[in-house]
């Protein structure tokens, strides 16, 4: 039985609680939160505290708070036993300032309390200072996910940048596409099959080979026609991304 304490009350903590509660070999013994915010969304049977000096003894303490506060918060954890980990993709392990052993438990996914998550399909990236701690952390991760990886801070930082491109930036492109549709009284739903097919193709085709469109063909007639119809940021983004695609595929 792995005894776990969650430190946080945000989206990641919310979903980790649900994932851990379903497993018999994980005992979620306590949750720390700075205040009572979001308490109604969490399991009321799990003991709660707003005082760090009231934390119980656990095998793993999971810090699931915003990136900017991880370092200062961890410094307030004065106990020496147990393994303290954070869940950030962009914060290196050495930013944990506690005296206990340190590690990272990074679930590579975007989380919302409004959406049910299947943790078995979510990659979890692990890092520890000591090999013994890695055995413990991997056992914990393997319990809730079928995709567990050992990744160091440098790799994880680059992976997080890649995730921003793949998720955050692509979603912004969808938002722009919806704006264009809305402004011209066309249903954004018409693009759904195209979007789903584009993502589904990545299961079978490398992104390099899956690229299509006027920039891939360096079709300047179409590109200039599109640019003529766009303004402001939309025009700048279209030109910049087209230039990047053209540069890559014309390099040979």
192 shares a domain with 144: no
Q: What is the pLDDT of residues 178-188, one digit of tens each?
A: 999 999 999 99
- Do residues 122 and 172 share a domain? no
8 & 129 share domain: yes
- 94's tokens: 């050495």
User: Which of 250 and 222 is assigned the larger pLDDT?
Assistant: 222
Which DSSP letter does residue 95 get? Answer: G
Which H helix or E strand runs over 230? none
What is the three-class DSSP state of 44? coil
Burial code (b: 16+ CB inside 10 Å, e: under 16) for 234-249 equals: beeebbeebeebbeee
User: How much is the average pLDDT of 59-75?
Assistant: 96
Are 66 and 93 part of one and the same domain?
yes
Write down the pLDDT at residue 252. 57
Largest CA distance in the chain: 68
Do 28 and 53 form a contact (C-beta atoms < 8 A)?
A: no
Residues 183 and 245 in one domain: yes
Q: 121 and 188, same structural domain?
A: no
Task: Tell which of 151, 184, 206 closes a domain.
Answer: 151
Domain boundary among 106, 134, 151: 151
Q: pTM for this structure?
A: 0.89
CA atoms within 13 A on the CB side of 166: 13
> Residues 26, 140: one domain?
yes
Are residue 31 and residue 114 in the same domain, yes or no?
yes
Structural domain range at position 213: 156-249
Q: What is the CATH number of the domain that holds 244?
A: 1.10.1040.20
* Average pLDDT for 161-186: 97
DSSP helix/strand/coil, 187: coil
Question: Among 105, 126, 7, which residue's Cα sits nearest to residue 55?
Answer: 7
Query: Residues with Cβ < 8 Å from 221, sequence gap 6 or more?
Result: none
pLDDT of residue 114: 84
Residues 106 and 188 occupy one common structural domain = no
Strands, E assignment, the chain: 2-7, 26-32, 48-49, 60-63, 83-86, 101-107, 124-128, 148-150
Among residues 132, 151, 170, the one where a domain terminates is: 151
Domains of the chain: total = 2
Average pLDDT, the chain: 95
Model confidence at 112, pLDDT cuts 50, 70, 90, reads confident
Does residue 50 share a domain with residue 83?
A: yes
């Amino acid at each position: 039985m792995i005894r776990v304490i969650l430190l946080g009350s945000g989206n990641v903590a919310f979903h980790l609680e649900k994932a851990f509660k379903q497993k018999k070999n994980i005992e979620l013994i306590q949750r720390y939160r700075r205040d009572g915010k979001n308490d109604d969304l969490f399991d009321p049977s799990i003991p709660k505290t707003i005082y760090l000096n009231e934390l119980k003894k656990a095998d793993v303490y999971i810090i699931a708070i915003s990136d900017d506060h991880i370092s200062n918060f961890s410094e307030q954890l004065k106990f020496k036993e147990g393994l303290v980990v954070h869940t950030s993709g962009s914060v290196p392990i050495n930013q944990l300032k506690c005296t206990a052993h340190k590690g990272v438990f990074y679930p590579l996914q975007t989380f919302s309390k409004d959406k049910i998550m299947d943790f078995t399909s979510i990659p979890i990236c692990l890092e520890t200072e000591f090999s013994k701690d890695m055995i413990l952390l991997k056992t914990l991760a393997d319990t809730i996910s079928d995709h567990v990886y050992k990744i160091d801070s440098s790799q994880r930082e680059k992976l997080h940048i890649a995730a921003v491109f793949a998720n955050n930036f692509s979603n912004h492109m969808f938002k722009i596409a919806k704006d264009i549709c809305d402004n011209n009284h066309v249903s954004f739903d018409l693009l759904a099959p195209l979007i789903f097919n584009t993502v589904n193709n990545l299961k079978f085709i490398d992104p390099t080979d899956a690229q299509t469109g006027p920039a891939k063909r360096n079709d300047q007639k179409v590109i200039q026609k599109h640019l003529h119809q766009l303004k402001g940021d939309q025009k700048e983004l279209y030109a910049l991304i087209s230039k990047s695609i053209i540069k890559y595929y014309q390099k040979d």
